[in-house]
Amino acid sequence: MAFTEWYVEGPSFGNCNCGYACPCQFEERPTHGDCRGFEVLEVTNGYFGDIDLSGTKAVLLYAWPGAIFEGKGEMQIIIDPGASDAQRDALRRVFQGEDTEEEATHWWVFRAMCDKVHDTLYLPIDVEADIENRTAKVQVGDVLTSTGSPIQAPHGGGEHRVRIDIPGGIEFSIAEIGSASTVANAGIKLDLKDSFGQWHFLKHGPGGVVH
Protein backbone atom coordinates (compact mmCIF):
# COMPACT_ATOMS: atom_id res chain seq x y z
CA MET A 1 0.00 0.00 0.00
CA ALA A 2 1.33 3.42 -0.95
CA PHE A 3 1.51 6.02 1.81
CA THR A 4 1.94 9.76 1.70
CA GLU A 5 5.49 10.29 2.93
CA TRP A 6 5.56 12.14 6.25
CA TYR A 7 7.80 12.91 9.18
CA VAL A 8 7.36 14.74 12.50
CA GLU A 9 9.81 15.51 15.26
CA GLY A 10 9.73 17.63 18.37
CA PRO A 11 9.52 17.63 22.17
CA SER A 12 6.67 15.54 23.54
CA PHE A 13 5.21 15.46 27.04
CA GLY A 14 2.51 13.18 28.38
CA ASN A 15 0.72 12.11 31.54
CA CYS A 16 -1.31 8.98 32.28
CA ASN A 17 -2.97 7.55 35.37
CA CYS A 18 -0.35 4.84 36.01
CA GLY A 19 2.30 4.90 38.72
CA TYR A 20 5.75 6.28 37.97
CA ALA A 21 6.86 2.87 36.68
CA CYS A 22 4.09 2.65 34.06
CA PRO A 23 3.42 -1.10 33.71
CA CYS A 24 2.30 -0.68 30.09
CA GLN A 25 5.91 0.03 29.14
CA PHE A 26 6.82 -3.41 30.52
CA GLU A 27 3.95 -5.36 28.93
CA GLU A 28 1.99 -5.55 32.18
CA ARG A 29 -1.51 -4.39 33.06
CA PRO A 30 -2.11 -0.73 33.99
CA THR A 31 -1.58 0.28 37.61
CA HIS A 32 -5.29 0.84 38.30
CA GLY A 33 -6.70 -1.55 35.72
CA ASP A 34 -7.66 1.16 33.22
CA CYS A 35 -5.62 3.55 31.08
CA ARG A 36 -6.32 7.24 30.48
CA GLY A 37 -4.15 10.24 29.78
CA PHE A 38 -2.87 12.63 27.16
CA GLU A 39 0.19 13.69 25.18
CA VAL A 40 1.20 16.96 23.56
CA LEU A 41 3.59 17.39 20.64
CA GLU A 42 5.17 20.59 19.38
CA VAL A 43 6.40 19.87 15.85
CA THR A 44 9.75 21.62 15.42
CA ASN A 45 10.35 19.94 12.06
CA GLY A 46 7.93 17.97 9.94
CA TYR A 47 6.03 17.48 6.73
CA PHE A 48 3.19 15.49 5.20
CA GLY A 49 3.83 15.14 1.49
CA ASP A 50 4.49 18.71 0.38
CA ILE A 51 2.77 20.23 3.44
CA ASP A 52 5.16 21.80 5.96
CA LEU A 53 4.12 20.86 9.52
CA SER A 54 6.87 22.77 11.34
CA GLY A 55 5.52 24.98 14.10
CA THR A 56 2.24 23.10 14.53
CA LYS A 57 1.06 21.76 17.88
CA ALA A 58 -1.36 18.96 18.73
CA VAL A 59 -2.72 17.09 21.73
CA LEU A 60 -4.10 13.57 21.92
CA LEU A 61 -6.39 12.48 24.76
CA TYR A 62 -7.17 8.80 25.25
CA ALA A 63 -8.96 6.39 27.59
CA TRP A 64 -9.50 2.64 27.82
CA PRO A 65 -11.61 0.72 30.37
CA GLY A 66 -8.84 -1.85 30.70
CA ALA A 67 -5.45 -2.43 29.12
CA ILE A 68 -4.88 -0.78 25.74
CA PHE A 69 -4.61 -4.11 23.91
CA GLU A 70 -8.12 -5.03 25.08
CA GLY A 71 -9.58 -2.17 23.05
CA LYS A 72 -12.96 -0.46 23.56
CA GLY A 73 -11.20 2.87 24.00
CA GLU A 74 -11.85 6.43 22.98
CA MET A 75 -9.61 9.22 21.75
CA GLN A 76 -9.72 12.90 20.84
CA ILE A 77 -7.33 15.16 18.97
CA ILE A 78 -6.90 18.86 19.71
CA ILE A 79 -5.01 21.01 17.19
CA ASP A 80 -3.76 24.54 17.71
CA PRO A 81 -5.83 26.86 15.48
CA GLY A 82 -2.64 28.37 14.08
CA ALA A 83 -2.48 25.36 11.73
CA SER A 84 -3.83 25.81 8.22
CA ASP A 85 -6.64 23.61 6.89
CA ALA A 86 -4.08 21.45 5.07
CA GLN A 87 -1.92 21.13 8.20
CA ARG A 88 -4.96 20.24 10.29
CA ASP A 89 -5.95 17.44 7.95
CA ALA A 90 -2.36 16.13 7.88
CA LEU A 91 -2.06 16.14 11.68
CA ARG A 92 -5.38 14.31 12.04
CA ARG A 93 -4.19 11.62 9.64
CA VAL A 94 -0.87 11.20 11.41
CA PHE A 95 -2.37 11.11 14.93
CA GLN A 96 -5.03 8.63 13.81
CA GLY A 97 -2.43 6.22 12.45
CA GLU A 98 -3.21 6.76 8.78
CA ASP A 99 -0.47 6.58 6.14
CA THR A 100 1.40 4.41 8.65
CA GLU A 101 2.61 0.83 8.50
CA GLU A 102 0.57 -1.59 10.61
CA GLU A 103 1.48 -1.37 14.32
CA ALA A 104 4.43 0.91 13.51
CA THR A 105 3.54 3.78 15.87
CA HIS A 106 1.67 4.10 19.14
CA TRP A 107 -0.75 6.38 17.29
CA TRP A 108 -1.64 3.51 14.92
CA VAL A 109 -2.18 1.19 17.89
CA PHE A 110 -4.21 3.76 19.82
CA ARG A 111 -6.57 4.31 16.88
CA ALA A 112 -6.94 0.56 16.26
CA MET A 113 -7.85 0.03 19.92
CA CYS A 114 -10.46 2.82 20.04
CA ASP A 115 -14.14 2.30 19.25
CA LYS A 116 -14.91 5.99 19.58
CA VAL A 117 -13.16 9.03 18.10
CA HIS A 118 -14.46 12.33 19.43
CA ASP A 119 -14.69 15.35 17.16
CA THR A 120 -11.38 17.15 16.72
CA LEU A 121 -11.13 20.43 18.65
CA TYR A 122 -9.21 23.53 17.59
CA LEU A 123 -7.97 25.37 20.66
CA PRO A 124 -4.84 27.36 21.58
CA ILE A 125 -2.11 25.07 22.86
CA ASP A 126 0.52 26.65 25.12
CA VAL A 127 3.29 24.27 26.09
CA GLU A 128 6.62 24.57 27.86
CA ALA A 129 8.45 21.27 28.20
CA ASP A 130 12.04 20.82 29.35
CA ILE A 131 13.05 17.21 28.70
CA GLU A 132 16.39 17.37 30.52
CA ASN A 133 14.92 18.89 33.68
CA ARG A 134 11.60 16.99 33.55
CA THR A 135 9.44 20.06 33.84
CA ALA A 136 6.33 20.97 31.86
CA LYS A 137 3.44 23.40 31.80
CA VAL A 138 0.55 22.90 29.38
CA GLN A 139 -2.60 24.93 28.84
CA VAL A 140 -5.07 23.96 26.12
CA GLY A 141 -7.83 26.55 25.82
CA ASP A 142 -10.11 26.12 28.82
CA VAL A 143 -10.26 22.31 28.55
CA LEU A 144 -6.87 21.04 29.76
CA THR A 145 -4.22 22.08 32.28
CA SER A 146 -1.16 20.00 33.04
CA THR A 147 2.13 20.33 34.90
CA GLY A 148 5.17 18.09 35.17
CA SER A 149 8.10 17.96 37.58
CA PRO A 150 10.86 15.60 38.71
CA ILE A 151 9.98 12.70 40.99
CA GLN A 152 10.77 13.50 44.61
CA ALA A 153 12.33 10.64 46.56
CA PRO A 154 9.97 9.62 49.43
CA HIS A 155 12.85 9.41 51.91
CA GLY A 156 13.67 13.07 51.36
CA GLY A 157 16.67 12.50 49.14
CA GLY A 158 15.66 15.14 46.61
CA GLU A 159 14.97 14.71 42.91
CA HIS A 160 15.05 11.22 41.44
CA ARG A 161 15.98 10.78 37.79
CA VAL A 162 15.02 7.67 35.83
CA ARG A 163 14.66 6.83 32.15
CA ILE A 164 12.90 4.11 30.20
CA ASP A 165 14.93 2.75 27.30
CA ILE A 166 13.05 0.69 24.67
CA PRO A 167 15.33 -0.02 21.69
CA GLY A 168 12.45 -1.39 19.59
CA GLY A 169 9.75 0.89 20.94
CA ILE A 170 6.90 2.23 18.80
CA GLU A 171 6.60 5.49 20.75
CA PHE A 172 10.16 6.34 21.79
CA SER A 173 13.64 4.90 22.13
CA ILE A 174 14.36 6.62 25.43
CA ALA A 175 12.16 8.78 27.65
CA GLU A 176 12.67 10.76 30.83
CA ILE A 177 10.17 9.90 33.55
CA GLY A 178 8.74 12.24 36.17
CA SER A 179 5.62 13.23 38.05
CA ALA A 180 2.68 14.95 36.37
CA SER A 181 -0.81 16.19 37.14
CA THR A 182 -3.57 16.94 34.63
CA VAL A 183 -7.16 18.13 34.66
CA ALA A 184 -9.11 17.88 31.39
CA ASN A 185 -12.71 18.57 30.54
CA ALA A 186 -12.88 17.85 26.82
CA GLY A 187 -14.59 14.81 25.27
CA ILE A 188 -12.38 12.76 27.57
CA LYS A 189 -12.18 13.77 31.23
CA LEU A 190 -8.95 13.59 33.20
CA ASP A 191 -8.22 14.18 36.87
CA LEU A 192 -4.66 12.96 37.38
CA LYS A 193 -2.50 13.77 40.39
CA ASP A 194 1.21 12.98 40.78
CA SER A 195 1.17 10.10 38.31
CA PHE A 196 3.31 8.92 35.37
CA GLY A 197 4.89 11.79 33.44
CA GLN A 198 6.87 11.18 30.25
CA TRP A 199 9.21 13.45 28.29
CA HIS A 200 10.99 12.58 25.05
CA PHE A 201 12.05 14.02 21.72
CA LEU A 202 9.67 12.31 19.33
CA LYS A 203 10.74 11.28 15.82
CA HIS A 204 8.08 9.45 13.79
CA GLY A 205 7.48 8.48 10.19
CA PRO A 206 5.33 5.93 8.32
CA GLY A 207 7.63 3.12 9.46
CA GLY A 208 7.63 4.10 13.12
CA VAL A 209 10.31 5.63 15.34
CA VAL A 210 13.08 7.20 13.29
CA HIS A 211 16.51 6.45 14.75
Report pLDDT for 1. 59
DSSP per position, the chain: -----EEEEEEEEEEESS-SS-GGGGT---TTSSEEEEEEEE-SEEEETTEE-TT-EEEEEEEESS-GGG--EEEEEEE-TTS-HHHHHHHHHHHTTTTS-TT-SHHHHHHHTEEEEPPPEE--EEEEEETTTTEEEEEETTTEEEEEEPEEPTTS--EE-EEEE-TT-SS-SEEEEEEEEEEEESSSEEEEEEEEEEEEEEEEETTEE--
Residues 29-48, buried b or exposed e (16+ Cβ, 10 A)?
Answer: ebbeebbbbbbbbbbeebbb
> Residue 139 forms beta bridges with which residues?
126, 145
Mean pLDDT of the 62-83 span: 97
Distance CA 163, CA 32 (A): 22
Read off the pLDDT of residues 173-200 as tens digits, 9 standing for 90 and up: 999 999 999 999 999 999 999 999 999 9
Radius of gyration of the chain (CA): 16
Cα 195 to Cα 17, 24, 95, 143, 202, distances in angstroms? 6, 14, 24, 19, 21
Read off the pLDDT of residues 87-111 as tens digits, 9 standing for 90 and up: 999 999 999 999 999 999 999 999 9
Read off the pLDDT of residues 139-173 as tens digits, 9 standing for 90 and up: 999 999 999 999 998 888 789 999 999 999 999 99
